[in-house]
Amino acid sequence: MANLFTEVKIPKSPTVINYNSRLMFVGSCFADNIGSMFSDNKFRCIINPLGTLYNPLSIKMLFDILTSDRIIFEQDFFYYRNIYSSYLMHGDYSDADLNKAVSRANKSIETARNFLKDTDIVFITLGTAFVYYLNQNGMPVANCHKQPSNLFTRKLLTVNQSTEALQDICNSISKINPKIKIVLTVSPIRHIADGAIENSLSKSTLLLSVNNEVKSLNNVEYFPSYEIMIDELRDYRFYETNLTHPSSTAREIIFDKITSTFCTSAVTDYIKKVSNFMKSVNHKLLSPDSVETKSFAENQLNRAIQLENEIDGLELTNEKQYFKEIINRIKVTI
């Protein structure tokens, strides 16, 4: 029987992920998606410490901060429409209270900076090679924060410019953490707002610059998220209704391919067990004060303990506390 899709063959990576691994995910919303799937399965993760970033220059600016003593100041924010925002970060870090905005950004940076020093693998997902520059001073911005377009100039990075940004990122990370592995990937999300042709030029620029880095640095490798979506999952049933973002099914398929590439078969089996357990954590309790619920909580608490004993590096402290609180509450009410 003829193949019904084009398979993207991915060799097993020498870089191994297990439940002792410390993972960082940075970049486009696809980094948020995949990072959240690892986090939901109880891996140790940090995801986009200053929010979603799309272009190589903005990602470079983040790592310039994380690999230095740089902190965020009040002057890094501007006031627009009753809220303080920063060109260094996503709108998730905007706030009506300037002190809160600065404090929150610095807290996130400090946490990520300390985490990065012992991170095993950082996944960097590039979304676009288009960069918006602030006309006032030529600064590349991570987000325009819905300001008037005449404040910015949009330019497509050259392959050399994108390559230089990636090289600076990889070098700065490796300098503070020589053992780190860097996985570059290009987001499968199409930026149709840029135009179909422009999106292709943008993705091509990113792919060429990524290839340059993979060839020049031993601790850098590429994972073909973009190719999986374009070739294996090209049918629109694998897209959200906006026809540009991968559907939840597509994200699960790509996540499975990532785990099969970077995890042993034992770890992929562990992931299935943890995923199944987490469903019980998120299970809606229809009779929260019943004897049956208490029995359910006791069983799940024992299950959590068994999983921790079985899987080296797995930590289910919050989940165990959740079931203990249910058990203790029902002891009082019954």
CA atoms within 13 A on the CB side of 116: 28
Q: d(Cα 133, Cα 130) in Å, to the nearest integer?
A: 10
Q: Where in the chain is the domain with CATH 3.40.50.1110?
A: 22-271
The kind and range of the H/E element at 15 are none
pLDDT in tens, 99-153: 999 999 999 999 999 999 999 999 999 999 999 999 999 999 999 999 999 999 9
Q: What is the pLDDT of residue 176?
A: 96
Q: d(Cα 152, Cα 324) in Å, to the nearest integer?
A: 54
CA distance readout (Å), 256 to 25, 250, 251, 260, 312: 16, 10, 9, 6, 21
pLDDT in tens, 181-225: 999 999 998 888 888 899 999 999 999 999 999 999 999 999 999
For the chain, which ranges sit under pLDDT 70? 1-4, 332-334
**At a CB cut-off of 8 Å and minimum separation 6, what does 106 contact?**
71, 72
The whole model's pTM is what? 0.94
CATH homologous superfamily of 22-271 equals: SGNH hydrolase (3.40.50.1110)
Q: What is the pLDDT of residue 205?
A: 97
Contact indicator for 255, 185 with CB cutoff of 8 Å: no
Q: What angle do CA 30, 19, 10 make, to 5 degrees?
A: 50
* Strand-pair category, 121-126 with 181-186: parallel
